[in-house]
């Protein structure tokens, strides 16, 4: 397949790729909402708590629920770190096995301001528990520290504990973010809501959920469709322009110049993918044709060598320039009439 054939379908192939990427991008944008809600499962998932001693330790970024409590004196530290370290037996890594839950947690989260979150947690016990405590733990992923590596994940940014009674209940909290975090950081934030025994640290239920995202683009089906259609119009319009340029390039004839052994100007006219008719050749002053170029037809993809005979246009014996400006009037099948310009060169007299 030659380059001309490739050019015939390549713009449409590229348009298809761009439309596919646009569609994938639009439908993969996380849905905006004024609030998010979540419900815990009947089984507590496996989760891990870390107590990094320095900034070089890296907490994995994967599908496992991980919580990193950094030292109080560090830039990522929280005041609860030392207490939590003691509660879990002074382990640098505390792994919590999966087990049946003794309660179901249902939570809703809403932004009450750009830096404050309103959180509601409904607790429905499935088994009797004592000394219950509900922990709200806000963690941040992809935390970059200036001049430090690696990027830190699952960093505890906010901790709010609430003792609960033995029965079911609802907890309401309005939490103000710290460390300069706000709604624009929502894509890096999530809550781990943990119900456990404050005396034995036995876990009763766990819910991990994101926070509502800031407005980041069209999310409703109608908005996605209209946006996609707008992008399609733009992409297809550009495709049509590129296709028209390709068509002009391959359909129109090619015109180039040269000189024979005696230094006389010669033109080479090659038809493109459509046949053409040469109507007229004009030479601009200070030259004129001493012998006219006859009209002719050229089938598609054929070439004609044409000798150009010129002389000074106003009887001058000597013309100071060797450049010969010419205009070629042609008609191309399906493309209409065109005028092509060509500059030829004439060798100076010897």
Predicted pLDDT at 34: 67
- pLDDT score, position 350: 45
DSSP string, 199-258: TT--EEEEEEEE-PPPP-S--SHHHHHHHHHHHHHHHHHHHHHHHHHHHHHHHSPEEEEE
- Tally helices (H) and strands (E) across the chain: 3, 22
Claim to verify: residue 183 and residue 151 sit in the same structural domain: yes
Predicted confidence at residue 219, as pLDDT, reads 54
In a domain, 58, yes or no: yes
CATH code for the domain of 125: 2.60.40.10
The Cβ of residue 273 has, within 10 Å, a number of other Cβ atoms equal to: 17
State residue 323's pLDDT score: 87
Same domain, 234 and 286: no
**pLDDT the model gives residue 26:** 59
Q: Is residue 231 in a domain?
A: yes
Instruction: Decide: residue 158, CB within 10 A, 0-12 exposed, 13-18 middle, 19+ buried.
Output: buried
Residues 267 and 334 in one domain: yes
**Confidence bin at 226 (pLDDT 50/70/90):** confident
What confidence tens digit (pLDDT) does each residue in 130-148 have? 889 999 999 999 888 766 6
Mean pLDDT value across residues 334-339: 88
Model pLDDT for residues 107-136, shown as the tens digit of each residue:
999 998 889 999 999 999 988 888 899 999
pLDDT of residue 249: 78
Residue 159 lies in a domain: yes
Statement: residue 191 has pLDDT above 90: yes
Domain with residue 303: its CATH number is 2.60.40
Q: Are residues 18 and 73 in the same domain?
A: no
- Pairing of the two strands 65-68 and 47-50: parallel
pLDDT in tens, 234-287: 887 888 777 777 777 788 888 999 888 888 899 999 988 889 999 999 999 888
328 touches 337 (CB < 8 A): no
Domain edge (last residue) among 159, 193, 210? 210
**164 in a domain, yes or no?**
yes
Q: How many domains does the chain have?
A: 3
Specify whether 109 is located in the same domain as 124.
Answer: yes
Same domain, 101 and 231: no
Regarding whether 283 and 185 lie in a shared domain, the answer is: no
In a domain, 350, yes or no: no
Residue that terminates a domain, selected from 190, 210, 230: 210
Domain match, 236 and 318 both? no
Instruction: Name the more confident of 248 and 177.
Output: 177
The candidate with the shortest Cα–Cα distance to 189, out of 148, 150, 146, 136, is: 136
Predicted confidence (pLDDT) at residue 328 exceeds the cutoff of 60: yes
Q: Is position 49 within any domain?
A: yes
Q: Judge whether residue 159 has pLDDT over 60.
A: yes
Domain co-membership, 156 together with 296: no
| Residue at 107 is within a domain | yes
pLDDT level of residue 29 (50, 70, 90 thresholds): low
* One domain for residues 47 and 141: yes
Confidence at 220, pLDDT banded by 50, 70, 90: low
The pair of three-digit structure tokens given for residue 57, joined into one six-digit string: 């330790």
Residue 174 covered by a domain: yes
pLDDT of 52-65, one tens digit each?
887 677 888 889 99
Query: Is the pLDDT confidence value at 79 over 70?
Result: yes
Domain with 206 in it: 30-210
Q: What is the mean pLDDT of residues 310-319?
A: 73
Same structural domain for residues 37 and 118? yes
Does 176 share its domain with 203? yes
Q: What is the pLDDT of residue 59?
A: 87
């Amino acid at each position: 397949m030659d380059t001309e054939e490739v050019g015939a379908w390549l713009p449409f192939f590229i348009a298809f790729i761009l439309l596919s990427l646009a569609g994938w991008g639009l439908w993969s944008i996380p849905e905006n909402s004024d609030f998010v809600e979540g419900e815990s499962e009947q089984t507590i998932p496996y989760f891990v708590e870390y107590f990094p001693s320095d900034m070089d330790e890296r907490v994995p970024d994967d599908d496992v629920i991980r919580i990193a409590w950094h030292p109080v004196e560090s830039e990522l530290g929280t005041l609860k770190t030392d207490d939590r370290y003691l509660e879990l037996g002074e382990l640098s890594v505390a792994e919590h096995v999966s087990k049946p839950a003794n309660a179901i947690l249902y939570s809703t989260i809403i932004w009450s301001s750009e830096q404050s979150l309103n959180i509601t947690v409904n607790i429905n016990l499935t088994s009797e528990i004592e000394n219950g405590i509900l922990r709200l733990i806000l963690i941040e992923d992809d935390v970059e520290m200036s001049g430090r590596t690696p990027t830190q994940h699952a960093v505890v940014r906010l901790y709010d504990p609430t003792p609960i009674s033995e029965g079911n209940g609802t907890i309401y909290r309005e939490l103000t973010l710290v460390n300069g975090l706000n709604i624009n950081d929502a894509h890096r934030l999530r809550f781990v809501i943990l119900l456990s025994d404050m005396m034995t640290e036995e876990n009763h239920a766990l819910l991990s959920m994101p926070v509502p995202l800031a407005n980041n683009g069209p999310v409703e089906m109608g908005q996605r469709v209209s946006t996609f259609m707008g992008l399609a119009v733009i992409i297809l319009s550009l495709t049509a322009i590129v296709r028209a340029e390709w068509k002009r390039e391959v359909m129109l004839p090619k015109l180039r110049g040269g000189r024979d052994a005696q230094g006389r100007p010669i033109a080479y006219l090659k038809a493109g993918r459509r046949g053409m008719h040469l109507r007229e050749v004009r030479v601009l002053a200070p030259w004129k044709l001493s012998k006219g170029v006859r009209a002719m037809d050229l089938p598609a993809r054929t070439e004609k060598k044409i000798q150009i005979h010129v002389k000074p246009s106003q009887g001058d014996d000597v013309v100071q320039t060797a450049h010969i400006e010419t205009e070629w009037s042609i008609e191309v099948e399906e493309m209409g009439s065109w005028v092509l310009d060509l500059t030829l060169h004439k060798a100076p007299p010897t």
